[in-house]
Structure 1
Amino acid sequence: MGDHQKIHPVEADVEAPPTTPLVAPGSHRSEKGVPDPLPYHSSIGSIEPITPKEKKRKNCCCRCLCCTITTLILLIVAIAISGLVLYIVFQPKLPKYSIDTLRVADFKLNYDMTLYARFTVKITASNPNDKIGIYYEKGSHLSVWYTNTKLCGGSLPKFYQGHHNTTVLNVILTGRTTNATALMNALQESHQTGQVPLVLKVDVPVAVELGKLKLRAVRLVVTCQLVADSLSANNMIKITASNCKFRPEI
């Protein structure tokens, strides 16, 4: 009878170190021993892990952007509220301007074909506000134009216009135009129709006073479209139409 061999089970080596699954660098193991997926950047052709430094910089940029937007919104709201309060307290009204009379003291064509003009303009400025004063500063300029040709110019005096005040100004404008033969011919044709179109331009620095607070001066540009019956010398010209508009220039 042949030899019989017994096969005994192989006992595990208790002294051998336990085997651990391979874990990619930078990953974290969960409580069950399963490695967590790697955070990554998606880019063309590669996957890169997000470092803590990059995450911190990204969060910092987001906070700065949010703070900037919030500050701008608060600033806009504050300006709107301030403007509303000023409007309610002072109730501002636009000033009014009118050209009352235009007198031609001198208007002649000299031998050298230069045109000399001297006008006297009567301007009425009205301030209808209860709590707002108006300072008309130095550096103003007035001019009278026929089509695209300047006939004469001058300036306004410096003065302060108080609440509910109406100020009448008599301003002298003088000027000399060279090569004025064609201009005189055009003016004579307008005389025959009895309608001479003129434009009075006013550019004056103005400062508004709110209560006792004087604001920074801005330039006020006034343009008056006029129609006169003639431009005869030593004659009070009748203004048949007048339309004045103004705008501030900061």
Structure 2
Amino acid sequence: MSEKVCSHHKSKKKKAVRTCLAVVAVVVFLALLTILIVWAVLQPKKPRFSVQDATVFVLNVSAPNVISTTIQITVLSRNPNSRIGVYYGKLFVYANYNNQQISYYTVIPPTYQGHKDLNIWSPFIYGTNVPVAPYNGLRLAQDQSAGAVRINFKIDGRVKWKVATFVSGRYHLHVTCPVTIPLPGSPGKPAGVVVGNNAVKYQLSQTCTVSV
């Protein structure tokens, strides 16, 4: 008699566990479905970046395979979403010339960008005696002689999306800003404004490509 009672209790216990698991699965499914529906309705858009100006302090080739750079850029970031906020983690800014990094990483601190908000950052990007491939040193010298240098300013980091009280997981953010810097005295190029000893500021307004 006791064995039948025990087996009956075990059966009820298993049934309760299965019911509980089924309820949890339904709740999780409905929560995920709600998030997906909200996400589809809101249609999140990537942040938009652009470089507004660049101030060149140093840009020279001290040897065929050594480049020194000090440039301050003004970066504009815009959140195009009307219902979604953006959390930026640390952003790392650096300069690339002809597919080779020519500066150290400059860090932009974490920040939050609200709906339709605009952020402006002005990081200094620099590298002292950075070794490069010899052909890049020669090419930079040639570009300087020609009167214009094309540099890709890159921003790498992570972002989170905020919808009401929901905050998403982290996504990788990759921004590339191709900028052509006209050098002083370049014929047919917009003149820069001298802002200090050997420093020239150029108005650019160059759009960046963004990948999330």
TM-score between the two structures when normalised by the length of structure 2: 0.67
Partner of 1:133: 85
Aligned sequence identity (%)? 21
Partner of 2:75: 123
How far off its partner does 1:178 sit?
2.5
Matched, 1:152 2:103: yes
Q: Mapping of 1:93-242 within 5 angstroms?
A: 93-110=45-62, 114-138=66-90, 140-153=91-104, 154-176=106-128, 177-178=130-131, 182-230=135-183, 233-239=198-204, 242=206
How far off its partner does 1:184 sit?
4.1
More helix by share: 2
How far off its partner does 1:231 sit?
8.2
CA contact (8 A) 1:107 1:231 kept: no
Q: Mapping of 1:5-154 within 5 angstroms?
A: 82-88=35-41, 90-110=42-62, 114-138=66-90, 140-153=91-104, 154=106
How far off its partner does 1:114 sit?
3.7
CA distance in 1, matches of 2:45, 2:32: 20
Structure showing greater relative contact order (alpha-carbon pairs closer than 8 Å, 6 or more residues apart): 2
Q: How many residues are treated as equivalent by the alignment?
A: 171
Structure 1 stretches (4+) deviating beyond 6 angstroms? 78-81
CA distance in 1, matches of 2:38, 2:126: 45
* Matching residue's letter, 1:236: K
How far off its partner does 1:116 sit?
2.1
Q: Which runs of 5+ in 2 are unaligned?
A: 1-28, 186-197
How far off its partner does 1:243 sit?
4.1
Bigger CA radius of gyration? 1
More strand by share: 2
* Matching residue's letter, 2:89: E
How far off its partner does 1:123 sit?
0.3
CA distance in 2, matches of 1:97, 1:182: 31
RMSD of aligned Cα (Å): 3.1
CA 1:110–1:165 in structure 2 vs 1: closer, same or farther (change >3 Å)? Answer: same
TM-score between the two structures when normalised by the length of structure 1: 0.58
Q: Which runs of 5+ in 1 are unaligned?
A: 1-74
CA contact (8 A) 1:142 1:202 kept: yes
* Matching residue's letter, 2:206: S
